[in-house]
Amino acid sequence: MGQPATLKKISSQLNLSISTVSRALKNHPDISENTKRKVKELAALMEYEPNSYAVNLRTNKSKVLGLIVPDISNMFYDSFISAAEKDARKCGYSLLILQSGDDPLQESENLKLCKHYRVDGIMISLAPESCSTELLAKYQEAGISIVFFDKVPAEGDFDTVCIADEEAATIAAHTILKYKKKNILALFGNQELSITKKRRDAFLKILQKEQEVQTQVQYCTKTEDARQQTELALNSSSIPDHIFCMSDEILLGVMKAMKKSDLRIPEDISVLAMSNGFIPGLFNPEISYIETSGYELGKLAMKRMLDNMDNKTEARSIMLPTRLIQGNSL
């Protein structure tokens, strides 16, 4: 019992051929009920399980999907992964999860790993300055389904699933206007990312129509940057009456700076964020936010991947609708 059971071992025990055992276990009509019963009994006893390597070798399918994210340890991505894993499991797929660490080099290494493990599909959120799209296009040619999510390529004919960035930013801008805010500090992330550009452009498109509204845009890649930017603004001659945060990381920095000031939310200054939902609830008052759900995006992306592998539908972009979740910060 030490070594795992194989068809060969079962067949030699029963004085049958390997092929007969294989067919018996698969209910092939050629095999008599009597033989089937005996084979199945022994197989169960020996805890036989087909060797997945051998099966994969023949079928050239692995039932494994590659999932590449910048960092697993991240509110957004971990909920994405959590959702994706659950839905993948339901359809018999497992996930090979790899981190790029926002490094283009490591990203391409990850892709090679996916190739090496011959995954059936790859879901990827790109690193900044990624140069992996050509490689991915080649993989797609070779029959691997590719789904981009969240950080998607700006160009190319690919399957993408992402937050409805323009819509979300538009909702945010309209909400801020509704509350008659006039002096807005808008904090965005890495301005190289298309996600940042999309959100910023849609946001500004609304606000710049209003002549009496002042909007100051700043970019901050990290929480600490956001804290400093906020502190600067709060100590400036024209203190903003509203702060907009493009992400959870930025919101955290803003709130750290707010703690040090004695401005009240929302009486003196209001706050609106775009968030996965966890962080805004931690503050008092709870921060209003436009929901950008990693969990929902994970479900959507996995659905797309599974559809894709069934019936090679053509490439298209899918957006996850967003909505305003009201806290008391506005």
Could you tell me which residues come within 8 angstroms of residue 159 by beta carbon, excluding any fewer than 6 positions away? 145, 146, 147, 148, 304, 308, 315, 316, 317
Pick between residue 39 and residue 185 the one whose CB is nearest to DNA: 39
Nearer to DNA, 58 or 178 (CB): 58
81 lies in the binding site for its own copies (CB under 8 A): yes
Binding of residue 141 to its own copies (CB under 8 A) = yes
Examine residue 15 and tell whether it contacts DNA (CB under 7 A).
yes
In what helix (H) or strand (E) does residue 178 lie, and over which residues does it extend? helix 165-178
Strands 214-219 and 242-245: unpaired
Question: For residue 210, what are its two tokens?
Answer: 């209003």
* CB 106 within 8 Å of CB 100: yes
Q: Taking CB under 8 A as the rule, does residue 142 contact its own copies?
A: yes
Comparing C-alpha atoms, which of 110, 136, 112, 126 is closest to residue 162? 126
Contacts for 325 with CB less than 8 Å, ≥ 6 apart: 277, 280, 288, 289, 290, 291
Using CB under 8 A as the binding rule, whether residue 85 contacts its own copies is answered as yes
Residues numbered 279-308 forming contacts with its own copies, rule: CB under 8 A: 282-284, 295
- In angstroms, give the least distance from the CB of 49 to DNA: 7
The amino acid present at 63, given as its one-letter code, is K
Applying CB under 7 A, does 82 fall inside the site for DNA?
A: no
Which of 19, 37, 45, 71 contacts its own copies by CB under 8 A? 71
Q: Decide: is 48 part of the binding site for DNA (CB under 7 A).
A: yes
Residue 19: contacted member of its own copies, DNA, none (CB under 5 to 8 Å, by partner type): DNA
Window contacting its own copies (CB under 8 A); options: 116-124, 162-170, 177-185, 206-214: 116-124
98 lies in the site for its own copies, by CB under 8 A: yes
How far, in Å, CA of 302 to CA of 252, rounded? Answer: 29
Q: Which residues of the shown chain bind DNA in the complex (CB under 7 A)?
A: 4, 6-8, 15-20, 22-26, 30-35, 48-51, 54-55, 57-58, 60
